[in-house]
Chains A and B, each alone.
Chain A
Amino acid sequence: METTGQLLLTVLMGAFLLGVAAFLARVEDWRSYTPLGAGGGAVGESGYGHAEKPAGLIRWFTTVDHKDIGLLYGLYATIAFVVGGLMVMLMRAELTTPATDVLGSATFYNSLLTSHGITMLFLFGTPIIAAFANYLVPLIIGADDMAFPRINAIAFWLLPPAALLIWAGFFPIPEVIPAQTAWTMYTPLSAGVGNGNQMNVGVDLMLLGLHLSGVSATMGAINFIATIFTERAEEVTWANLDIFSWTILTQSGLILFAFPLLGSALVMLLLDRNFATTFFAVEGGGPILWQHLFWFFGHPEVYILVLPPMGIVSYVLPRFSGRKLFGFKFVVYSTLAIGVLSFGVWAHHMFATGIDPRLRASFMAVSLAIAIPSAVKTFNWITTMWNGKLRLTAPMLFCIGFVSNFIIGGVTGVFLASIPVDLVLHDTYYVVGHFHYIVMGAITFAGMAGIYYWFPLVTGRWYQRTLAKAHFWLWMIGTNVTFFAMVLLGYGGMPRRYATFLPQFATLHQIATLGAFMLLVGGVIWVYNIYVSWIEGPHVQSGDPWRLDETSLNTAEWDWFDAKRETSLAATDGGEEVKADGGEVVDGAPADDAADDE
């Protein structure tokens, strides 16, 4: 870089460091006369600071409280979900016509495709799970906080820079273009080889951002493992550790082995791109090496994303079935089994690469085997509901939606695990349908179940029940319309990752887009509902808003909530009319009756 540029950068960097120093001085001052014991700064009636006050804002930037950090993760994941969702809406709009009539350029489509995948998996999926885990695990296992609160905060704050780097190509920076490598970043394309434009720094920035998000996930995982091992209250033993913490523990173990590997592979790729190393060059390790490294991370990653949502469903679904989780032990065992097996299946993503057929067959065997523990869980959820006293609240609906979509996603996965079938369906929309049934239909649904279920716990208020149900039905129908159309497109031979297609696929693509718009409407309703209810939803009227005590299914986090309510000075004005979602008694009549009439 020429001298003026370096000078400018130096001045900017110097100014930035001075700003940091000034901020630190101010914070140190603030700390010397603000009592910090109770969570630092102004605390509103819901227990959270007022973000508009300067003191409140500093509080969010400096917090190491696991609940605050959980909320920050939640906000972050929501923003990423909206960004990734809007990206894919542009793509679906493009796919309403066979040519690139809408976006005008396949290049832009490819950029959106890449960014959508990475945003949803790394900036929405992993963080939304961390949001639940941070907020809830310490409460459930009776810990004061995470084992390493500051590392917890560092892990979160690495994510905003990661997002900026990953999206950098879309910002109006001269000569920086977005990556078009797809989320799998296959070499040689991603190594910038050839005459394409993937040697652009936009790709380097994305790789760096991804690397950062991996560092963040690894730090978080270490923290959860340490917390669950060492910070449990005395009465919480391994024998009665709850199912959600079990899945977080297993997930953290997977992260610990998978993400550092991704990080190393990314560094190798960056070195290939910038310093002429030959890790993935034909004359060096070869392009297939990338696929092995990537999928050795990538397959465990899909279970990293699905195990905690399974934990949420296993945790929430029994509460509205009026009975305990059926076969608790086997749900835990199957979690552990999936955790171990998930490292032995990665080459099922590479069946079509011409690897040794004997290797291929063994990966097929393990891939089919991993369906067994997944099925064990499914049967346990169904048997939990069997003959139960179901309450079809919004969280319960999302749990049932999860089970239903997971079955379709899992069964399509088993077919892909079979080599002959995969050779036909690989790189078609069938694969896209398969994994979206899981990442959207299952993982995101479980996230929504969790959000609605713990909304009263976090905010002390109720969401709007009717809107929540509208959200559910739009999503349940939208998911199946969109992704079943993709399964059919795959059967028809429509290849994935194309901005254009043959006219014969138009109808199914238009149906998929229709479903996607239902998802968009549902998503808008969700954001609106959460936002408005957080601010002005009716207050919950008891420490047990879901009336779990009646079926003896209460859990520790609600005891904490109850205790907090009782000690809180916030007066509950009983005059409000509360529309509880199948939970508390409303106006003298049990909310069950209210819930029954829909």
Chain B
Amino acid sequence: MDENPGLSEEYRRASPWPLFVALGLPIAELGILFGLVPLAVGGLLLFFGSIAGILRENSYVSSTWRGLAALSLVVVALGLAIWYWDGTTQSDLLVRAYSVLGTGVLMLLAGVGGELFAQDAEPTL
């Protein structure tokens, strides 16, 4: 990474995203561990949404939507992995697998949809 704090004019000493990355992770973990669908979905959205926000803020991606779409692949992969594990253990992991997969698909749709239709809403950072 060639992040160069203090040199690039993009650099700021404040960012709203880290707090929500840090909140999203435990919520998602709780949701997935205990099979609580709303927490799993919401936590993953918060976590990856905020990462997408950071990627945009750093100009690693040109829009938050693209970041979201790219990250959705990670979530889908995680969902598939849980789906696979469901077959290998006695525990019932299907609900967890579906909620993670569902979140991934949701993110992909949001990313693609946002990129196509919501360009103007993208805040000019």
Contacts and interface: CB of A to CB of B under 8 A. Distances in A.
Interface in A37-83: 37, 39-41, 59, 61-65
A593 to B, nearest CB: 43
Contacts of A158: 22, 25-26
A13 B53 CA distance: 20
Contact of A62 (B14, B25, B36): B14
Contact of B5 (A36, A144, A157, A274): A144
Contacts of B98: none
Interface in B1-56: 1, 3, 5-7, 12-23, 25-27, 29-30, 33-39, 41-42, 45-46, 53-54
Contacts of A14: 38, 42
Contacts of B93: 275
A303 to B, nearest CB: 27
A107 interface: no
A491 interface: no
A250 to B, nearest CB: 24
Contacts of A147: 3, 5
Interface stretch (A17-25, A192-200, A526-534): A17-25
A9 B16 contact: no
A64 B89 CA distance: 43
Nearest to A28: B123
Chain A, interface residues (CB within 8 Å), range:
35 or more
B36 A9 contact: yes
A150 B89 contact: no
A23 B16 contact: yes
A329 B3 CA distance: 33
A215 interface: yes
Contact of A208 (B7, B33, B46): B33
Contacts of B13: 36-37, 39-40, 63-65, 145, 149
Contact of A161 (B26, B42, B53, B91): B26
Given A40-B14, A62-B14, A157-B19, A150 B123 contact: no
Interface in A148-201: 148-151, 153-154, 156-158, 161-162, 165, 201
A17 B39 contact: no
Contact of B14 (A17, A31, A144): A31
A20 B25 contact: no
A264 interface: no
A63 to B, nearest CB: 6
A17 B41 CA distance: 11
A270 interface: yes
B17 A150 contact: yes
B12 A40 contact: yes
Say whether chain B's binding surface is mostly helix, strand, loop, or mixed: helix
Contact of A274 (B6, B22, B33, B39): B33
A353 interface: no
A217 to B, nearest CB: 13
Which of B14, B15, B19 has its CB near the most chain A CB atoms (within 10 A)? B14
A37 B12 CA distance: 7
A154 B21 CA distance: 7
A150 B35 CA distance: 30
**Which of B29, B30, B53, B54 has the most A CB atoms < 10 Å from its CB?**
B29
A415 interface: no
Nearest to B54: A150
Nearest to A17: B42
Nearest to A161: B26
A162 B30 CA distance: 12
B116 to A, nearest CB: 21
Contacts of B3: 147-148
Nearest to A34: B14
Interface string B110-125: 0000000000000100
Contacts of A94: none
A17 B5 contact: no
B38 A6 contact: yes
Nearest to B57: A150
Given A9-B38, A28-B123, A59 B5 contact: no
Given A64-B13, A150-B15, A276-B89, A208 B22 contact: no
Ranked 4 nearest A-B pairs via Cβ: A157-B22, A144-B6, A153-B18, A13-B42
Given A13-B27, A161-B26, A270-B33, 11 more contacts: A9-B38, A10-B38, A20-B20, A24-B20, A62-B14, A144-B7, A147-B3, A149-B15, A150-B15, A208-B26, A212-B25
24 contacts: A1-B35, A6-B36, A9-B36, A9-B38, A12-B38, A13-B39, A23-B16, A28-B16, A36-B14, A64-B13, A65-B14, A144-B6, A148-B3, A150-B18, A150-B58, A153-B19, A154-B18, A154-B22, A161-B23, A162-B26, A212-B25, A212-B29, A274-B34, A275-B89
